Chain A
Amino acid sequence: DTGVSQDPRHKITKRGQNVTFRCDPISEHNRLYWYRQTLGQGPEFLTYFQNEAQLEKSRLLSDRFSAERPKGSFSTLEIQRTEQGDSAMYLCASRLEGSRGLDTEAFFGQGTRLTVV
């Protein structure tokens, strides 16, 4: 395991369809994050997991979005009834909680580029 992997790398879908993305974090990392990045912008936080528990969700995450991390390992992000505004790069990152709560480096995957037509 050399890093965070995301699948698929690219997805083109018609408006109204559902899509699901997968993220496989670095194996010992207990924290997993989802971000969305649109062209020319910095990544925006969507949600994060500590092991299998989803601890925080952004207000950007509408009811059409759902994320899971069932066994505390890989995670999926599903978007239902996609809209053109959902077109973006979806990034996954993982991180190991450091001692005394100090933040450690987050490792990012290469992302899934979603295009809704």
Chain B
Amino acid sequence: AQSVTQLDSHVSVSEGTPVLLRCNYSSSYSPSLFWYVQHPNKGLQLLLKYTSAATLVKGINGFEAEFKKSETSFHLTKPSAHMSDAAEYFCVVSRNAGNMLTFGGGTRLMVKP
């Protein structure tokens, strides 16, 4: 079984300040982990993925995430928020050699001017 918990349903930051979106996972095997972003009226877009290589993963638009097995966490960070980062973010877990993607409940990121 696998599950994902996104610890904050809403996060609000000011433009230019750091972003932290928290994600904890549960998996009985070595997982693959992903972050997807969903802008209004647009499809889900992959930000980054972890598939058992480097634990610090860099993605698009300056985002990165660190896989911490001891903490079962995969938090998403960005040093400086931009207005265009406002969107819904989903942490996703999947089995290696697997099939189903399991989504967290999502975190809505708001960026204030």
- Interface positions of A (Cβ within 8 A of B): 3-4, 31, 33, 35, 40-45, 48, 50, 55-56, 91, 93, 100-103, 105-111
How many contacting A-B pairs (Cβ < 8 A)? 66
Asked whether A101 and B96 contact (CB < 8 A) given A33-B101, A42-B90, A45-B101, the answer is yes
Name the CB-closest residue of B to A41.
B105
Q: How many residues belonging to B are interface residues under a CB distance threshold of 8 Å?
A: 26
13 more A-B residue pairs beyond the given contacts A93-B101, A102-B96, with a C-beta to C-beta distance below 8 A: A33-B101, A35-B103, A41-B105, A42-B90, A45-B100, A55-B99, A56-B100, A101-B98, A102-B32, A102-B51, A103-B98, A106-B46, A110-B42
- Nearest CB of chain B from residue A60's CB, rounded to whole Å: 12
- Interface positions of B (Cβ within 8 A of A): 32, 34, 36, 41-46, 49, 51-52, 90, 94-106
